[in-house]
């Protein structure tokens, strides 16, 4: 989850297996806000479809998808115009600018066409569950003595921070465990949550993923590995969360970070130096309702984590 993760998005499963009610009001607010501000793609497709399937406001998702499709189509038209102009210029006299315009416009057309196809594809694939920094995911928290699922941005804005502060510290989608009682002190012991994920992904050096040394003269190359628990299962990933009132065009910004720790041997052997912390289901209520005067108890929950083994493979 350091780089990205694969989320659990089925609303009914949150209610059935985790006894958590869905904060539909917050989901509706988020969807309207992302439509208005052009951030529709920051809501994973699987989460959008889960919201539509819940039956509260399926039209909201349909309209948002159409608006996004219109943006992709406009981009394709714009780049095709740019491509045609570049090709006309190259037919007269080759220039570096025209060659650059042709290359960039061709790439942008292909990307927009793929995005449009992905948007319209009816069946979900693994990529539709992917969560990246800046995207939104369902997070279980405690409110009013009950478990509630709230959509939150995967990049935490700490209490008192402004958007400018956040830009200076872009790595706050992860909270290192060895910093919980220092940098994360405003949230650790106060606002705990869990994100339900089924896999996480990370950039690692290729030679480390292949468990070998760099060859003479070989430049270091990065690859993306997918880490799946064996056997496949949902993981209750320990998180910290915050709410910044009225921070996004008047909307409250709910945001979170996943806590990471030293990796298990198989993750370290694959070349990654951090790992998420899946807590045991039996600790869920204690974790969601922390006692700030007993941080040792919270650390004990993080120590007594689910004993998982992770398979790793090159991400598709």
CB-based contact 197:8 (threshold 8 Å): yes
Rounded mean pLDDT for each run of 10 residues along the chain, 316 residues in total: 71 91 93 92 94 83 95 97 96 95 98 96 92 96 95 96 90 96 97 96 89 90 93 96 80 94 94 93 97 97 94 86
**Tokens describing residue 23:** 């904060």
Residue 144: half-sphere exposure toward Cβ, Cα within 13 Å? 5
CB-based contact 291:270 (threshold 8 Å): no
At 279 the pLDDT is 96
User: What whole-number percentage of the chain has pLDDT above 70?
Assistant: 97
Contacts of 214 (CB under 8 A, 6+ apart): 207, 220
- Ordered domains of the chain (ranges, CATH): 4-24+126-314 (3.90.1680.10)
Cα separation of 289 and 245, whole Å? 22
CB-based contact 221:205 (threshold 8 Å): yes
DSSP bridge pairs for 298: none
At 211 the pLDDT is 87
At 249 the pLDDT is 65
């Amino acid at each position: 989850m350091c780089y990205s993760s694969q989320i659990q998005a089925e609303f009914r499963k949150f209610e059935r297996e985790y006894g958590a009610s869905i904060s539909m009001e917050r989901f509706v607010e988020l969807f309207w806000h992302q439509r208005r501000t052009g951030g529709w793609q920051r809501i994973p497709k699987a989460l959008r479809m889960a919201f539509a399937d819940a039956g509260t406001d399926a039209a909201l998702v349909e309209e948002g998808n159409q608006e996004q499709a219109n943006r992709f189509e406009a981009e394709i038209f714009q780049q095709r115009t740019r491509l045609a102009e570049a090709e006309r210029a190259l037919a007269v006299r080759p220039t570096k600018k025209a060659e650059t315009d042709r290359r960039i416009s061709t790439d942008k057309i292909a990307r927009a066409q793929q995005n449009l196809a992905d948007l319209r594809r009816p069946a979900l694939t693994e990529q539709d569950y992917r969560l990246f920094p800046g995207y939104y995911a369902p997070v279980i928290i405690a409110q009013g003595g009950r478990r509630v699922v709230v959509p939150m941005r995967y990049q935490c804005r700490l209490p008192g921070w402004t958007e400018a502060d956040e830009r200076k510290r872009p790595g706050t989608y992860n909270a290192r465990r060895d910093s919980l009682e220092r940098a994360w002190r405003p949230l650790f012991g106060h606002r705990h949550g869990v994100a339900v994920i089924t896999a996480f992904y990370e950039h690692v050096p290729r030679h480390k993923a292949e468990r070998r040394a760099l060859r003479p003269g070989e430049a270091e190359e990065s690859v993306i590995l997918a880490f799946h628990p064996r056997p496949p299962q949902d993981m209750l990933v320990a998180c910290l969360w915050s709410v910044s009132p009225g921070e996004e065009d008047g909307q409250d910004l709910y945001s979170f970070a996943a806590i990471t720790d030293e990796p298990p041997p198989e993750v370290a052997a694959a070349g990654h130096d951090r790992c998420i912390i899946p807590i045991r289901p039996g600790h869920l209520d204690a974790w969601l309702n922390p006692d700030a005067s007993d941080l040792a108890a919270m650390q004990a929950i993080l120590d007594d984590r689910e004993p998982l083994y992770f398979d790793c493979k090159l991400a598709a």
